[in-house]
């Protein structure tokens, strides 16, 4: 499992947490949002998803991936 920490802007409440974690779960990515630091810790199988797909999924929920 590949692990990454992604910085994301615009996550403000528990709805945002659920939206992002839920969307990532649907593509097989385990995710944990930390609102305080504005980060998403992800863990995924590189055989099935890559980091750009992970970032794209976050952006599709309406957030800006910073790094």
Sites of contact with a copy of itself (CB under 8 A): 10, 12-16, 19, 62
Contact 12, 63 (CB under 8 A): no
Q: How many CB atoms lie within 10 A of CB 41?
A: 14
| For a copy of itself, the closer CB: 22 or 28 | 22
| For a copy of itself, the closer CB: 13 or 67 | 13
| For a copy of itself, the closer CB: 10 or 28 | 10
Closest distance of CB 2 from a copy of itself, Å = 29
Closest distance of CB 50 from a copy of itself, Å = 27
Half-sphere exposure in the Cβ direction for 29 (13 Å, CA): 30
CA 14 to CA 33: how far, in whole Å? 9
């Amino acid at each position: 499992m590949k692990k990454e920490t992604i910085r994301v802007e615009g996550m403000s409440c528990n709805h945002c947490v659920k939206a992002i974690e839920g969307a990532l779960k649907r593509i097989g990515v385990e995710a944990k949002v930390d609102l305080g630091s504005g980060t998403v810790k992800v863990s995924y199988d590189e055989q099935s998803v890559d980091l750009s797909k992970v970032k794209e999924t976050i952006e599709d929920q309406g957030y800006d991936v910073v790094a």
